[in-house]
Amino acid sequence: MIPLLSREAVRALDADAVARLGVPSSILMENAGRGAFEEIVRRYPDRLSRTVIVGGVGQNGGDAWVIARHMFLRGQRPRCFLLGERAKVRGDAAPNLQAIETLLGPVAVLTEQDLAAALADAALIVDGVFGTGLDRPIEGLGAAVIERINRADAVRVALDIPSGIDANSGKVLGVAVRAELTLTFAAHKRGLHQHPGAAHAGDVVLVGIGVPAPARTAFSADEPEYAAIEASDVRGLLPLRAADAHKGRGGHVLVVAGSPGRTGAAVLSGQGAMRAGAGLVTLCPRAGARAALDAKVLEIMTSDMPADLDAAVAHVVAEIKAKHSAVVGPGLGTDEEGSKLAERLALELTAPCVLDADALTAFRGRAADLRKAAGPRVLTPHPAEAARLLGASTEAVQADRYASALRLAAESGAVVVLKGARTVVATPAGRIRVCPLDVPALAVAGTGDVLTGITAALLAQLPAAEAALAAVYLHAAAGGHAAIADRGLLAHEVADAVPHVLAALRS
């Protein structure tokens, strides 16, 4: 896993390097700037002669001035601009600004008109205006400068984080630079791994600053609080099967899903479970839907649920005794009878369960009631479902997906998979895991049902947090494997691609 740091943790990392290791902060800035310069030269050697560097008054600006100096030493003369008052440039940034002025002449205090003229001929823009410490909306000249940078016909490179992106949440603080490349220093920042921050960052490259960075770790008790999932994490959780494996060892998943006219979600969940390795899957829809399911499935079994609520619950409770995990919710219906059925099963089933779709809606505004569940639970809400559970708006959930997922996990006592771009997995213990794969083609009906099935298959073999972590990565990677373009993907194609991803992980 790749540790993801908050702005506070980044400050602590720098302070520790200075205090404990005795590395001067000026060395850290020099290493950051030089490392960034080397990556810029590697990527954009043909653009160096038309470089514009915009720095702020803080340490982010200091990194920019180090880059400018190394460009000069390489025979280039970048045009440099300072956003802010020269008297406010302090700390390690001050001598680096002075050095570049000695080499190139006075750095202009920025006006929008000066920048517009410089950008007209720019091929490369280095953004060193605001760093990870920014925590309030950008206004006035700063906002105008960023908008001007975004309109320029040039490649944009951000230092540490694009100016205007909140380092903790990834939200845009009024306006933000849209970079093609972000060179982040010492450790990855949380805001670079959630949208819209991820979209503004472009490619993210970690640049060392000469001190130990937070180490990658396996899934263990010593794991970081926030981390991005790597393929090696999933590979480690899914060992090769024994040569004498049989279907009973693969786990039997019960999918309580589907109702008359709404059987597709149940089928997709079942396919996801089978493709992720379940040895057996049984679909158990509401009364009246079994015949439709029987016509759609070959490898998956079905079970006939009674129409009476109490009898239906008793039937599923009996069914689960021979199963290893369950899905509850997709396509069950949000009518009164369907909601009561979903609620009772969500609470009463003793097996590990994935709760999705209509099972989540049944607990609208009552996430804390899920603490009464008789067994481990994984919740897989999309943002609107998470908002309903929390009694919040979808916009509030999306404004800080980390905080929303953690709150829902704490209230419900369950592992939470907050779906969407860069899916977030949160645990009641306060751990966050982020899927780093962006697959816009997954934005189509039914792919969430496939994820639910994948999660249930893994939940038959693994603890809840580990099953969720592996499932979201497999799902996203399968979507990427199956997608031909950024749209047009069908949900069943995602399920069918899961074995290909498993094979790739092991190769």
d(CA 468, CA 446): 18
Is 229-506 the same fold as 2-207?
Answer: no
Tokens 């310069």 found at: 37
**H or E segment to which residue 55 belongs:** strand 51-55
**DSSP-derived pairing of the beta strands 2-5 and 51-55:** unpaired
| Burial class for 294, CB neighbours closer than 10 Å (0-12, 13-18, 19+) | middle
428: left (phi over 0), alpha (psi -120 to 50) or beta: alpha
d(CA 185, CA 178): 18
Tokens 């704490």 found at: 410
CATH for 2-207 (3.40.50.300, 3.40.50.720, 3.40.470.10, 3.40.50.10260) = 3.40.50.10260
Q: Encode burial over 157-180: b for 16+ CB neighbours within 10 A, e otherwise.
A: bbbbbbbbbbbbbbbbbebbbbbb
- List, edge to edge, every strand of the sheet that includes 252-256: 188-189, 2-5, 226-228, 432-434, 424-426, 415-418, 377-379, 353-355, 325-328, 252-256, 280-283, 301-302
Which residues face 253 on adjacent strands? Answer: 281, 325
Give the pLDDT of the chain (507 residues) as one tens digit per residue.
999 999 998 888 888 888 888 989 999 999 999 999 999 999 999 999 999 999 999 999 999 999 999 999 999 999 999 999 999 999 999 999 999 999 999 999 988 888 889 999 999 999 999 999 999 999 999 999 999 999 999 999 999 999 999 999 999 999 999 999 999 999 999 999 999 999 999 999 999 998 877 765 544 444 679 999 999 999 999 988 889 999 999 999 999 999 999 999 999 999 999 999 999 999 999 999 999 999 999 999 999 999 999 999 999 999 999 999 999 999 999 999 999 999 999 999 999 999 999 999 999 999 999 999 999 999 999 999 999 999 999 999 999 999 999 999 999 999 999 999 999 999 999 999 999 999 999 999 999 999 999 999 999 999 999 999 999 999 999 999 999 999 999 999 999 999 999 999 988
Whole-number Cα distances in Å, 168 to 5, 56, 165, 211, 489: 8, 20, 9, 22, 32
Complete DSSP assignment for 8-54? HHHHHHHHHHHHTS---HHHHHHHHHHHHHHHHHHH-TTTGGGEEEE
Tokens 């016909």 found at: 153
| Chain mean position to CA 43 | 26
Tokens 């601009």 found at: 81
Domain range annotation of the chain: 2-207, 229-506
d(CA 421, CA 194): 8
**H or E segment to which residue 82 belongs:** strand 79-82
- Would you call 188 helix, strand, or coil by DSSP? strand
Residues 229-506: name the CATH superfamily. Answer: Ribokinase (3.40.1190.20)
d(CA 487, CA 69): 45
Q: Give per-residue pLDDT as tens, 467-506.
A: 999 999 999 999 999 999 999 999 999 999 999 999 999 8
